[in-house]
Structure 1
Amino acid sequence: MHPLLSLTVSGLLALALTLEKDSSLDCVPRKYVPYHNRLIMKHGLRTCGDLSLGDNAHLFREEGVFNYSIMLLREDLNLLVLGAREAVYALDLNDISKKLSSVKWEVTQKQKENCKNKGKDPETECKNYIRILHKMADDKMYVCGTNAFDPECDYMSYADGKLTLEKKAEDGKGKCPFDPFQRYASIMYENYLYSATSMNFLGSEPVLMRSSPVSIRTEFKSSWLHEPNFVAMAQMPESEMSAQGDDDKVYLFFSETAVECDCYNKLVVSRVARVCKGDLGGQRTLQKKWTSFLKARIDCPVLESQLPYIIQDTFRWCGPQQRWKDCLFYAIFTPQSDTSDLSAVCAYRVSEISRVFAEGKYKTPVPVETSFVKWVMYSGDVPVPRPGACIDNEARKAGITQTLDLPDRTLQFIKDRPLMDQAIRPIGDKPVLVRRGPTFTRIIVNQVQATDGEKYYVMFIGTEKGTVLKTVNYDGDTFIIEEVQLFQSEEPINILKFSNITGQIYAGSDYGAAQIPLATCGRSSSCMDCVLARDPYCGWDKDVGKCIFLSDSQSELIQSVKEGDASLCPDAEPFKPMNRSIWPGGNLKLHCHLPSNLAKTTWERDGSPLTPSTRLQLLGDGLLILNASESDAGLYRCLSVERSRADEYTTTVAEYHVGIGPTGSGRGNPITPQAQVGGPSVTGLQIIVGLLVVSLLALLAWNFYNGHLPLPWNCRKQNREQSQDIHIHGDPNSGVAYQDAPRTALAEDKPLVPGTDNGTGNNHHTRGEAAFSAAEESETDGPKVTVPSLQYIDDESEI
């Protein structure tokens, strides 16, 4: 075979395989739940508005307040503490539309002026955006805000139903970002604040810092943090039942410009870093700096993408009785180029991340002749104790009980080489979800045990369009149960939280905060719809004939989450047809709303499949009958056909009995004319017409009496007198007599003379000017235009 032909065939095969893979990227949610108009709680009073959700969901917002992007679940107080721009709210955890208390934290005019003088927007940037909100050991809360590009922190308490700021201002530099639109991360772990943000006004000094008891931070070196975007932080209790006497860890997820990349353009990569809880810094080297800071690349391979996808959010899932090694991190990734609209979710084992840091190779910088630094795998001797490791039993045996005792050789090694050589790969070496559409922004994960005894991870994913996807993975098959629109405007989801106590999900955006349940099983009205939803939270209860939450039932429920086997359902009750009638030659639409986006519509007439035509058009939401005839009468049935992994299932959605009669289109099936009941009668219409005629005659008589409308004989007499007057006082061919005499009379009484108008009513002035022009042109030929006709035209132009 010719080499060029061989390459062409190979390329076509690769393209075919790619297209086959991409076919699963356009998976749609089985159901889409739009925004609904309900009641909200605003300023403590229930008012009718367009700012809430249906299906037991609630929404909170206050007029003039934006950026609801930080939440703290105080389940001990049954509160959702919500931070926004210049305000903090205490909301009822069961119904966040109920505001229990609030506190304002606004910037002063002087602070706003200083911020404005530094070149920032006084209406957006020079405000106090709440960014840090954590619970402390004494039940107080630690809160920080951007404070017009001068971050500040304070303590807040909730007692007797009231939020209170204690006004103990603390410097927030290194704890809270200066810029309200800059990414950051923080956690409060054993009353110590760990934060990742910028140390300066310009945002050019990124730092991972622990504020107390001893302030420890990262080095200001590009090999440590290089133009990072911080995403999330989490702690892991790795000291529990540790045979090595290990320490607890704090993990940081972020993206940054890769220092190890040998390329001309900047390449952004995703990272995970970790530090030890007991780190106190070094004695001489790395004083008050992390001695345990290590970082590694974290990958999420999406198809055959050339550029790595960038991490946007993570969620740590750990079961109640689960060991830390079995915990998982779920992470959202999006492309770093505008040429792709894919988003992905990858899952990682904490044990694998820990192993890379504990046993992996290091990268080291090597100068080359072209005057730049190349990073390669370090193959030399590694100092003891191991650089970046926490103090463990082996170190204690060597007399090293704290990081201040570490030798300078170990500290210098980690100062120069904080990057690991091995990248962290996801479980299965592939994403658990890849989808084309609105960009993913936030993720939370919950585990639920279905009726088959297995436990499933259900992912709730926020998007940039203000929706939340509910998706689950069954044996490698990604299934999107539903997509719920939380906000009326398409605002990105900025935060997602979940409460085990209430079983509710809480979301925040710039527009407001929303609350939705884990599942709304009542959306499924039939057993088949309930089973085909494949929602592990829901099952069909045969006793009550409803789709209900698993924990709400004591009886055995019908559920098939893996296969979607709806054959387990009992036979559905027969439909009662709705009557419809239509005029011969008229049009009629028969509505059919499918219970699922995955279903297809088929229609039957009198038990036989309906063939679409120009007169019978199949629409997305029904059937349209055009130019109806006698042959269109009959029984129409709309069927929903949906395929699952088990089989293809057909169910009746709607039935119509259509009759062709003289009564026109309407509800019911009348065949003969029926007397109208409750509408206007013919006698009433006759009376109304008679009153209108009498009123018109009275109006005409009043106008004749007052002279506004001259009588016809008076009009003819007046025209003769005016004609004689013109012949006596002036030449009819004279311009003066032609213009002055009629206009003088018109200026006095302006009689309205009826005449025939063959033109449009909007061109009166144009017709009058044309008549005058014609009269001037005929001056040499004699008086061909008479005065009465001129007066009539002039009157009409005046009107």
Structure 2
Amino acid sequence: MDPWPSLWILVLTLLEQTLPSHCTYDVTPRITFPYSDPSRTFTKFSKDGYWNYSTLFLGEGKLYVGARDVLFSIDTATVGSMELIKELRWNATEQKIQDCSFKGKSKERDCSNFIRVLLPVNESHIYTCGTYAFSPTCAYIDVRTFSLLTDSNGDPLTEEGKGRCPFDPSLKLTATMVDGELYTGTTDNFQGTQSIISRTLGHRVALKTEPSFNWLQDPIFVGSTFMPDSEGDKIYFFFTETRHKPDLLQRMSLSLVARVCKSDVGGQRVLQKRWTTFLKAQLLCYLPEDQFPFYVLQDMFVSKDEEGSVFYGIFRSQWFRGVSDSTAVCAFALPDVQEVFKGQYKQLNRETLTWSLYPDSPGPRPGACNTEPSMDSTLNLVKDIFMMNEAVQPIGKRPQLVNLKEQYVKIAVDTVLSTNSVKHKVMFLITARGFLHKALRVKAASYIIEELQLFPSPQTVYSLVLSANKGFLYIGSSIGVLQVPLSNCSAYLSCGECVLSRDPYCAWDIQDKACRETRNQPNMDTWIQDIEKADASSACAPPPRPRMFGPVATPEASASPILKTVCSNSLVTLQCQASSNLARTSWTYERQDAATMPGLTRQGTVLSFVASPERQGLWQCWATENQYRALLVSYSLQVSQSAVLTSSEGQQSQMDTAVKTYWSELVVVSVLFVLSIAVLVIFAVYPWSQRLRSRRKVRGGGPDEAGGEPGSGLEAAPLRKGPVGNRSAQNLQDREQAGGSQAQRTPNAQAQAGI
């Protein structure tokens, strides 16, 4: 057992938790457009009762859409509109639906006809396949009538779609039509456990991979394309395999590219009706700083121009690095892929399921493109020698874009020519959250020009089709189809914003003083654009003028301040919003930096403070990005000493909802606080004062004042009854006189009164 794969995975697992990234991948989108933002609009198409708009094919002036149980023909000839031309219903038969339900599938979720293949056969017909209630079925569509071809009885002409379309609508597939022949990569059994790459239709023999040879190991197909080649035309397939090896700590994913030759006719005795030119190689996508891998391929787009073809892939890592949604975009040049397929092979030992280097030997190369069947000896080697020894390295040996905060699911790439005749590759990426990112790589740095929210809530995106000529993206989702313009230069209102955007589609027209699209513009000599540096300070600086013409207006001078009148001691809130997420905002007071002023509170870009006469004057909010400083908003603050603003201070001040005075509330709270303290003091002092008065009365009732003698019964009365009033004192004197006379007559009565 080879211990190195296990050790490698263990190292990667520890690496993702212990090593910090040597490079900061700050790819925050510069501008965010929320859903239904009027400055970044797009067109939506959907029809009530239909879902899963999964398959798109863009024809001449028309967009064909395959959804659940239905196909649509949509007019796209008019820019910015999608009008339904015709609708074609294609439901599974009731018997197929019953069989699907009987096999344990959900009748509502699984047992419909999900259209998964929609490809042109020729100018007049389209080939389509659907899951057809877990019974894949294919048919032809007449483009002129947009209807299924029928037999003499009027019934649709259908054929079995096994091996061309998956049974399960949730499984991925890829399909490419080349000269009337269909090349597909999909599963071909009900359980979805057996995958094949096949060629069907046409007049030649049908070919497919042999499952028993382990040419494919649980592949998940994401794309395919046809590439003309002087050494034989080829079809490339892109997919991810999962290796089940007992010496691994966990299942390991590998991103791969396979190719077959268009001229392949299969073997005569060996590999009959099987591919004889099947080869595959690994695609590498990793961080160059610490070799952190991204090996799970999510999507692939082929960019073709006169300079050559480049494969752009979205890769996800099966290991987490701080967050779980990190993805990378790697690009592979076609010559690099071709060079790997010309190199050495690996040989599979079927007993130990291990790979070893296959030594070069004279004779025909296994998997070479031939117009005639290969020799049996060569074909026997193809069974075990189909993996290339070298892996395909990405362009620059590093990703084009790494985003540690987002998971991308779909990609399209457009080639745009800037005003200085430099070609730029603009990447359009769909996130799992349902956002569209427009990204660019310039001089080893990645930028996200903008992000656009496509749906009010996250939706599944199935298809992404680029129409470079029309300047639109077509996005198929679970709830409808979107037509999104590649750019909207009118959203940039100033020269600085237009240049800072780095948008290759946009440039600042000096004469019209507007940001305009560069596509199909014959003369752009006076247009301003700086994709490489985005130096708006230099590009948008006004030209020098003689003094006789006076000073040139600056953004600060041209901005009219907003009059804001508030009451003294009220809370002032000044709003400021920068359109760019990369801009740094700052405030000035009377053209001086307000950052060091006491009593100011900042929450994001909002400034708050208590109004006072010392704070009235000019307040300005500035945005600084890439050393370019622009004024966002100005306030002329006036502070009134009166509690209520008079009508002479203007209607705008009275309607200022941002000013709120708390003077009356402060007075009420203060009064209540004072009353509460007073009540507490009264309750605390009252018992003490009562005890003090009682003690004074006791002292006032002694023998010196009342004339009584010590030990008489008059001393005890105040202690039993409490303080004595005036009337009680008079009664007491009468009793004393009566008691004195009685004491003279009967001395024994006096003794009884003292008891």
TM-score by length of 1: 0.73
Question: Residues 82 and 561 (structure 1 numbering): CA distance in 2 closer, same or farther, change over 3 Å?
Answer: same
- Aligned counterpart, 2:336: 352
Judge conservation of contact 1:67–1:512 (CA < 8 Å) in 2. Answer: yes
Alignment of 1:402-481 (within 5 A): 402-403=372-373, 406-481=374-449
Question: Residues 474 and 663 (structure 1 numbering): CA distance in 2 closer, same or farther, change over 3 Å?
Answer: farther
Q: What SS does the aligned partner of 1:176 have?
A: coil
- Aligned counterpart, 2:190: 201
Alignment partners' CA distance in 2, 1:297 and 1:675: 68
- Aligned counterpart, 1:334: 316
Judge conservation of contact 2:428–2:439 (CA < 8 Å) in 1. Answer: yes
- Are residues 1:221 and 2:200 paired? no
Paired residues, what number?
613
- Are residues 1:593 and 2:577 paired? yes
Q: CA deviation at 1:628?
A: 2.0
- Are residues 1:387 and 2:366 paired? yes
- Are residues 1:574 and 2:574 paired? no
- Are residues 1:91 and 2:89 paired? no
Q: What SS does the aligned partner of 1:529 have?
A: helix
- Aligned counterpart, 2:297: 311
- Aligned counterpart, 1:109: 94
Q: CA deviation at 1:622?
A: 2.6
Q: CA deviation at 1:611?
A: 3.0
Alignment partners' CA distance in 2, 1:451 and 1:231: 35
Judge conservation of contact 1:294–1:388 (CA < 8 Å) in 2. Answer: yes
Alignment of 1:270-669 (within 5 A): 270-302=255-287, 304=290, 308-319=294-305, 321-322=306-307, 326-338=308-320, 340-357=324-341, 359-366=342-349, 372-379=352-359, 381=361, 384-391=363-370, 401-403=371-373, 406-551=374-519, 553=521, 554-555=523-524, 556-566=526-536, 567-569=538-540, 570=542, 571-572=554-555, 574-611=558-595, 615-625=599-609, 627-643=610-626, 648-661=627-640
Q: CA deviation at 1:360?
A: 1.3
Judge conservation of contact 1:603–1:639 (CA < 8 Å) in 2. Answer: yes
Q: Which runs of 5+ in 1 are unaligned?
A: 1-13, 38-52, 392-400, 678-799
Judge conservation of contact 1:659–1:669 (CA < 8 Å) in 2. Answer: no
Judge conservation of contact 1:641–1:649 (CA < 8 Å) in 2. Answer: yes
Q: CA deviation at 1:79?
A: 0.6
- Aligned counterpart, 1:769: none
For the pair shown, the structure with the greater C-alpha radius of gyration is 2
1:627-669 Cα deviation digits (max 9, x unpaired): 32222211111101112xxxx1111010111112378899x99
Alignment partners' CA distance in 2, 1:676 and 1:610: 27
1:80 to 34, 38, 63: 63
Moved more, 187-196 or 630-639: 630-639
- Aligned counterpart, 1:21: 22
Judge conservation of contact 2:223–2:237 (CA < 8 Å) in 1. Answer: yes
Question: Residues 636 and 669 (structure 1 numbering): CA distance in 2 closer, same or farther, change over 3 Å?
Answer: farther
Alignment partners' CA distance in 2, 1:125 and 1:549: 45
Moved more, 610-619 or 146-155: 610-619
- Aligned counterpart, 1:55: 40
Q: CA deviation at 1:109?
A: 2.8
Alignment partners' CA distance in 2, 1:482 and 1:669: 46
Residue type at the aligned position of 2:419:
T
1:121-140 Cα deviation digits (max 9, x unpaired): 11111111110000112421
Q: CA deviation at 1:584?
A: 2.1
Residue type at the aligned position of 1:671:
E
* Backbone CA RMSD of aligned residues: 2.7
Judge conservation of contact 1:658–1:669 (CA < 8 Å) in 2. Answer: no
Judge conservation of contact 1:186–1:193 (CA < 8 Å) in 2. Answer: yes
Alignment partners' CA distance in 1, 2:481 and 2:654: 52
Residue type at the aligned position of 1:559:
Q
- Aligned counterpart, 2:3: none
Question: Residues 673 and 145 (structure 1 numbering): CA distance in 2 closer, same or farther, change over 3 Å?
Answer: closer
Q: What SS does the aligned partner of 1:412 have?
A: helix
Q: What SS does the aligned partner of 2:402 have?
A: strand
Residue type at the aligned position of 1:538:
C
- Aligned counterpart, 2:702: none
Alignment partners' CA distance in 2, 1:388 and 1:141: 32
Residue type at the aligned position of 1:362:
Y
2:222 to 217, 231, 234: 231
Q: CA deviation at 1:614?
A: 7.6
Q: CA deviation at 1:18?
A: 5.6
Alignment partners' CA distance in 2, 1:621 and 1:424: 47
Alignment partners' CA distance in 2, 1:498 and 1:376: 42
1:185 to 174, 182, 197: 174
- Aligned counterpart, 1:157: 142
Judge conservation of contact 2:281–2:389 (CA < 8 Å) in 1. Answer: yes
Alignment partners' CA distance in 1, 2:365 and 2:651: 96
Q: What SS does the aligned partner of 1:535 have?
A: coil
Alignment partners' CA distance in 2, 1:21 and 1:488: 37
Question: Residues 579 and 374 (structure 1 numbering): CA distance in 2 closer, same or farther, change over 3 Å?
Answer: same
Alignment partners' CA distance in 1, 2:31 and 2:192: 43
Q: What SS does the aligned partner of 2:378 have?
A: helix
Alignment partners' CA distance in 2, 1:278 and 1:663: 92
Judge conservation of contact 2:184–2:197 (CA < 8 Å) in 1. Answer: yes
Q: CA deviation at 1:108?
A: 2.8
Moved more, 256-265 or 648-657: 256-265
Q: CA deviation at 1:544?
A: 0.8
Q: What SS does the aligned partner of 2:629 have?
A: strand
Residue type at the aligned position of 2:365:
R
Question: Residues 542 and 635 (structure 1 numbering): CA distance in 2 closer, same or farther, change over 3 Å?
Answer: same
Q: CA deviation at 1:54?
A: 5.6
Question: Residues 318 and 665 (structure 1 numbering): CA distance in 2 closer, same or farther, change over 3 Å?
Answer: farther
Q: Which runs of 5+ in 2 are unaligned?
A: 1-14, 151-155, 543-553, 656-755
Alignment partners' CA distance in 2, 1:669 and 1:145: 72
Question: Residues 150 and 548 (structure 1 numbering): CA distance in 2 closer, same or farther, change over 3 Å?
Answer: same
Judge conservation of contact 2:409–2:430 (CA < 8 Å) in 1. Answer: yes
Question: Residues 337 and 114 (structure 1 numbering): CA distance in 2 closer, same or farther, change over 3 Å?
Answer: farther
Judge conservation of contact 2:213–2:384 (CA < 8 Å) in 1. Answer: no
Q: What SS does the aligned partner of 1:496 have?
A: strand
Alignment partners' CA distance in 1, 2:392 and 2:440: 23
Judge conservation of contact 1:275–1:293 (CA < 8 Å) in 2. Answer: yes
Residue type at the aligned position of 2:265:
L
Alignment partners' CA distance in 1, 2:644 and 2:435: 40
Q: What SS does the aligned partner of 2:337 have?
A: helix
Q: CA deviation at 1:674?
A: 11
Question: Residues 640 and 558 (structure 1 numbering): CA distance in 2 closer, same or farther, change over 3 Å?
Answer: same
Judge conservation of contact 1:580–1:669 (CA < 8 Å) in 2. Answer: no
Q: CA deviation at 1:222?
A: 5.3
Residue type at the aligned position of 1:459:
M
